[in-house]
Structure 1
Amino acid sequence: MKNRPDIGETVEWLRGRGYYGGQITHQLVEKGQAAETADIDVSDPVSVALRQSGISSLYSHQVEAIGAVQSGENVVVATPTASGKTLTYVVPGLERAIENTGKTLYIAPYRALINDQADTFEAFDTELGLGASIDIGVQTGETSRTVRQEIKGSQPDVLLTTIDQLHLSLLPYAHGKNHWRWLFQQLDTVVIDEVHMYRGVFGSHASLIFRRLNRLCDHYDASPQYICCSATIGNPVEHAATVTGQDETTFRLVDDDGSASGDRHWLFWNPPLKQDGDEDRSITDPAVDADGTVRAGHDEHPPEQIAAAIDTAPSSTIDSQAEPDGSSEPADEITLPSHQEVVGGERQSNHVESVRLFCDLVTRGYQTLVFTAARQGTEQYVDWSDKMLRDRGQHDLADSVHAYHAALNTDRRLQLEEELRSGDARGVWSTNALELGIDIGTLDVVLLDGYPGTSMSTFQRAGRAGRGEDACLVVLVGADDPLDQYTIREPEELFESGAEQAAVNPTNDAIRPDHVVCAASDHFLSPDDEDYFGPDLPSVVTDAEANDRLRRVESGDRIQWRATDSDVQWNTNIRAIDDREIDLIDRNRDEQLASLEFGAAVRDAHPDAIYRHQKQTYRVVELDLESDQALLETTSTAEYTRALREKSVTIEDTYRQSSVETHEMDAQATLGKLTVEDTVTGYLLYSNPSDDTPRECEFEEPLESRAIETTGVFITVPGDVEAMILDQVESQDEYLSALHAIEHALISLFPMEVLCDRGDIGGLSTVSHGQTTNGTIFIHDGHPGGAGLTRQAFNQLDVLLEKTFKLLQDCSCRDGCPSCIHSPHCGNANRSLNKQLALQLLSELK
């Protein structure tokens, strides 16, 4: 038993502390379960390795998955974090290596996971009995040229690599005798770990890479089985089949968890509402006396004053969102009225609450992991935690709290992972980098500093605590955000509504042509490749020929195509969809700070934008789109900027329609192909984070527009409902403000149905559009070609509208706030929003 207080006692202790009064809005306990085990025949050497590793029996779901693999089926294992999914592919990989029946290719989205799983394979290799052994190879972007050559020469039984290396280094060299031909000839098993991570644009790229892999395997008469490991999502089989290019009927779903678990205590924690003058109060820790003594159960006032200290720098979602025009002339400045007044509803910083909880819990002996959104946030909040612990006299404890994120070097990450496993690290603030299946041992508490965005991520992160039969605590601290506040107010829905669905789009015409050309470079292209890239492959090939990307080669009766660019794989960025990048240059040091995709650059680096990078503040002094460079100079300022944008939408085609009966007419919802054009016209300049009277700076000429073809949904308001609303308002602008508010709230709740981030979705509201009748709300994928998000959510629109109505109805504000209709991505800076009229309109539409 761990040397720590009982979880239930600690929850009551938190409830009894004066400054915590009222923040706990909901509490529940997920009961643990005893392990359910089963027997299965494995080879003698593997059986010895399991016993030597302390594994006397396998969980029932492990046995089911291994049995399915042994019988030749594709498998999707969708059980919770820490349920032992690793053995479902390690055992088959070991057996096939020992029996010399084929090679295993393990693929993960990130290097850290590759290294962790390589350690697992190697640990079992050392314990194999009867003199058996296997050869394991690891190739990532960090692998040296010498080691790469050694791997190709040794032809390991198990090769672990990233999806990036499969795209860049394996598929392009499939035929070379001294390269990877041996792998594709003997490939027997493909393991895709964290398959749920392959979604959206990245997943669409991955799905085309796996189709290229299937194509090469077919060429070499190899038919590998797929073992896919996934978090709990709403469509695991459909998603795995779409990603891998295999038929759904070939997959066995294993999702009945047989692992042991302890009771998991959940707290839903809502920061208090802001009061007048909150930002002006001094920052102290009411749990500490002047002499440093930590007090408990005292009657202090709620801590309402720390947000300004922790959140001094605006987040990247609040920084400027603009398109530069390259002009060096200063923009005209026009005094702008203040933001729409917010009456009630605004809450104090969730980061403040999380820091206090973190310090209290590690002080009580709990090893605690906090998940927060941003890399800089992990560093900032661990610094503040360090200070608070030292103020309490807990210097040794302060030395044992750390930040973890992907920007750390490999040695530091590995060190922190080992310290978590050993218990030396008593507390860690992390980004989602620790959400994946890296082994970090058993933790006592997981704090979620803001709702992670999806129930899938919520349960993935919560699963980091309470391994085995130990009880654990999970605290969800709500942010001042519509999705967070909906979840805090409706906690049962998190457990009862089921997981979100993952979406990918292998037919995305913004990226598919690139992979068709890559495939022609991997291995000549033929008309038969419609089986992999779709029946409209001929039109893709025709366009590629016309653009001199493919060269037709005729050999007898055969027609083939070859790629004209030998480096096409290197020129195809699978982590992005926008090929154009803008370099950000520190003009004084003549040093490149970063490169941003064009869309991100025009959002964040327009002329005169305030840009923050690595805790340094810069001002953009020039943007040259001819050379694709932005020149920045350091500055010392509390100012920040936010772009003002105008958007237009053109309906290019319609795919599906549905309707919701309302009054005498139907509200039409249509799924279609859209062209979305976004133009920056100016920006707002805020003097500091608390400024609510920014100045509007208008460019002499609008900046270069960014236009994308994508997929979207548009909802038209029935004529009788529109007439009723217009009779009550003085102008159409008020009606537009209601549509605008619904658009914001609807987008904010999209992640409840589809695995995505709110920033992946865009929208536009209009009272008059040339291609629709009546007022229309457009919701669209934010990426060229579409990532399958709005397509996936189309059938759930009625549910989303119902939840949108409930979100607005239950929020305590009168006119709108960040907890309901304000959006950090709004191109109009959250102006022209009418919550009350939106509620009335939704009551008619939902």
Structure 2
Amino acid sequence: MNESVKNFYSDNHRLKIAAYRGGYLPNERRKIEAGLRDGSIAGVVSTNALELGIDIGGLDASVMAGFPGTISSAWQQAGRAGRSSSVSLSILIASASPIDQYIIQHPEYFFGKSPESGWVDADNIYILLDQLKCAAFELPFKDGELFHSNVDEFLNYLEENGILRHAGQKWYWSDRSYPAENVSLRTSTPENVVIVNTASGRNEVIGEMDLSSAKFMLYKGAVYMHQGDRYIVKELDLENHRCYIEDSKENYYTDSIVKTDIKMLNQDDVSMHGGVECIEGDVLVRSQATKYKKLKYHTHENIGYGEINLPADEMHTRAVVLVFRESSMVGKVFAEIAEALKTEIIQKLGTLLKNIAPVFLLCDPRDIGIAERVKDTEFANPCLYIYDRYPGGTGISEGFLKNIGRIVEGAYELVSGCPCESGCPSCIGPTSGGFAFIEAGGAGAGGAGTAGSDDAGSMGPDAADNMGQGAADNMGEVNIKLMVIDFLRKWMDAWARSNK
């Protein structure tokens, strides 16, 4: 890393910097932390692994490359600097992502809100069993003792599996393991894949990665980075939790293409919220990396593809489904959109809601998953699935439902206030030129702007409402961004009418 940023004339004044992340081996991380404390390392480029529980001494400044995703993470990262009595500086450089732009445009959400809620569903069987194990290890359970609720059924299950032993009206820990080591603070699984460098026959372990992430980042042919050095994956042995890599000089990085399938397992509740049908229940999320892209460093030019042959990752979790039936107010609005445009519109809505929801739910963006369906096989209508990205769910999908009005309003404010003409990474994401082609007389171009419109990006909602007739009556192009603005405005109107 120091070589890649080296100044030819000053040699960086012999200042040393280091890279840091959770996947490094413990002794390597401790060495970097010691270097920061004693001053032999002047700076560190890190993931969020340095946020909590690590004493790294007093740094003078911290620079956050993009909003970390949560308010608590932002304060933790800012707090890495100025831990002594000296003056310090913390800088947040916003990226083009929608959540970054929303925070910059609405600083009151950052400075006025308390840190994130701890989204924990105490009834989640995965969480509950792990916590029961840790509690029993510390102190035996008594018969009939409450632990959030009656847990006799779970205690019996643990005894059947040899983890607990029942004697004298108490439940004692009987397993040889230490239960807390199987509870991960960063991922939903404690299982890791060990990364082995096989260059020159060394077989040296240089890092590790959680099992779930390995399927999407350590596939055969993937480029793996470690301390600024590049390696290429030769084999991923999932059965033995080993990944074998070797040195690489390739001038590209890799990015997997993931296919996600969702199956509704059961429906707990069906209700109407703001003119749209909302269904709460359990879902099975099946994610599989099928291909990967080779992207050049610096330019991000796509120079090729590769195949990935790994098993899918399955997760049973909680979800809320927004069903746009034509019988609902919002469903009628969506039905008016031209068929050729529905796929792109619902994808942009999904992107927008996924990026805005964390601001109102006070959670990490990585905790939320969204899948868009133009015609869902389960409900035979356009749908948006919002699901928890944690086995069993943590309550985030239910939180989304409670805050759906504020989330839609926030999405509208972001995209209508973005100065771009036809969509950009800071609002609805990139589009095919920002415009889409429809045939003459295409139904439902209402709210679409023609390609020749002056100042299309700055038009208000009333202007957007009148933009589509010419595009619908003539062969031409429509502005996807204006269509999304118009849809969100009508969704907010439906919400207001339904709450009267």
TM range (shorter): 0.7 to 0.9
Which range is displaced more, 542-551 or 671-680?
Answer: 542-551
| Offset of residue 777 of structure 1 | 1.1
Mapped to 2, the partners of 1:814 and 1:388 lie a distance apart of: 42
The answer to whether the Cα contact below 8 Å between 1:508 and 1:785 also exists between their aligned partners in 2 is yes
Query: Which residue of 485, 491, 496 corresponds with 1:845?
Result: 491
Instruction: State the superposition RMSD in angstroms.
Output: 4.0
TM-score, normalization by structure 2: 0.72
Find the residue that maps to 2:276 and give its secondary structure. Answer: strand
Mapped to 2, the partners of 1:764 and 1:643 lie a distance apart of: 17
In structure 2, the CA distance between the partners of 1:497 and 1:522, relative to structure 1 (3 Å rule), is closer
Mapped to 1, the partners of 2:119 and 2:403 lie a distance apart of: 14
Mapped to 2, the partners of 1:427 and 1:579 lie a distance apart of: 30
Provide, for residues 663-716 of structure 1, a one-character-per-residue CA deviation record: whole Å limited to 9, x for no partner. Answer: xxx2133443322111222222335552444544455xx631111112233222
Mapped to 1, the partners of 2:318 and 2:119 lie a distance apart of: 13
| Offset of residue 440 of structure 1 | 5.3
| 1:425-504 superposed matches below 5 A | 433=50, 447-462=63-78, 475-496=91-112, 499-504=115-120
| Offset of residue 651 of structure 1 | 2.9
In structure 2, the CA distance between the partners of 1:499 and 1:566, relative to structure 1 (3 Å rule), is closer
Structure 1 segments unaligned to the other structure (5+ residues): 1-375, 824-831
The answer to whether the Cα contact below 8 Å between 1:639 and 1:689 also exists between their aligned partners in 2 is no
| Residue 457 of structure 2 corresponds to residue 811 of structure 1 | no
In structure 2, the CA distance between the partners of 1:796 and 1:470, relative to structure 1 (3 Å rule), is farther
Find the residue that maps to 1:633 and give its secondary structure. Answer: strand
Q: How many residues align?
A: 434
| Residue 198 of structure 2 corresponds to residue 587 of structure 1 | yes
Alignment correspondent of 2:248: 635
| Residue 185 of structure 2 corresponds to residue 569 of structure 1 | no
Alignment correspondent of 1:603: 216
% same residue:
23
The answer to whether the Cα contact below 8 Å between 1:518 and 1:563 also exists between their aligned partners in 2 is no
| Offset of residue 718 of structure 1 | 4.4
The answer to whether the Cα contact below 8 Å between 1:780 and 1:790 also exists between their aligned partners in 2 is yes
The answer to whether the Cα contact below 8 Å between 1:638 and 1:687 also exists between their aligned partners in 2 is yes
Provide, for residues 722-772 of structure 1, a one-character-per-residue CA deviation record: whole Å limited to 9, x for no partner. Answer: 4544444243xx313222222222222333234433223222111223443
Mapped to 1, the partners of 2:52 and 2:349 lie a distance apart of: 32
| Offset of residue 484 of structure 1 | 1.3
Mapped to 2, the partners of 1:611 and 1:426 lie a distance apart of: 25
Query: Larger relative CO (CA 8 A, sep 6+): 1 or 2?
Result: 1
The answer to whether the Cα contact below 8 Å between 1:482 and 1:748 also exists between their aligned partners in 2 is yes
Alignment correspondent of 1:262: none
In structure 2, the CA distance between the partners of 1:685 and 1:448, relative to structure 1 (3 Å rule), is closer
TM-score, normalization by structure 1: 0.45
Computing the radius of gyration from Cα coordinates, the structure with the larger value is 1
The answer to whether the Cα contact below 8 Å between 2:130 and 2:183 also exists between their aligned partners in 1 is no
Letter in 2 for 1:674: V
Letter in 2 for 1:481: S
Alignment correspondent of 2:291: 682
Query: Which residue of 624, 628, 633 corresponds with 2:237?
Result: 624
The answer to whether the Cα contact below 8 Å between 1:651 and 1:675 also exists between their aligned partners in 2 is yes
Mapped to 2, the partners of 1:549 and 1:766 lie a distance apart of: 43
| 1:318-333 superposed matches below 5 A | none
Provide, for residues 772-800 of structure 1, a one-character-per-residue CA deviation record: whole Å limited to 9, x for no partner. Answer: 35211112221212234334444222212
Alignment correspondent of 2:152: 538
| Residue 125 of structure 2 corresponds to residue 516 of structure 1 | no
The answer to whether the Cα contact below 8 Å between 1:502 and 1:754 also exists between their aligned partners in 2 is no
Mapped to 2, the partners of 1:564 and 1:413 lie a distance apart of: 37
Mapped to 2, the partners of 1:388 and 1:822 lie a distance apart of: 39
In structure 2, the CA distance between the partners of 1:735 and 1:543, relative to structure 1 (3 Å rule), is farther
| Residue 310 of structure 2 corresponds to residue 703 of structure 1 | yes
Alignment correspondent of 2:472: none
More strand by share: 2
Letter in 1 for 2:484: A
Alignment correspondent of 1:387: 7
In structure 2, the CA distance between the partners of 1:593 and 1:804, relative to structure 1 (3 Å rule), is same
Structure 2 segments unaligned to the other structure (5+ residues): 431-435, 437-478, 493-500
Mapped to 2, the partners of 1:638 and 1:756 lie a distance apart of: 36
Which range is displaced more, 705-714 or 537-546?
Answer: 537-546
Find the residue that maps to 2:182 and give its secondary structure. Answer: coil
| Residue 113 of structure 2 corresponds to residue 506 of structure 1 | no
Find the residue that maps to 1:510 and give its secondary structure. Answer: helix
In structure 2, the CA distance between the partners of 1:514 and 1:692, relative to structure 1 (3 Å rule), is same
| 1:70-469 superposed matches below 5 A | 384=5, 387=7, 390=10, 398=13, 410=30, 413=33, 416-417=36-37, 433=50, 447-462=63-78
Mapped to 1, the partners of 2:398 and 2:285 lie a distance apart of: 16
In structure 2, the CA distance between the partners of 1:790 and 1:469, relative to structure 1 (3 Å rule), is same
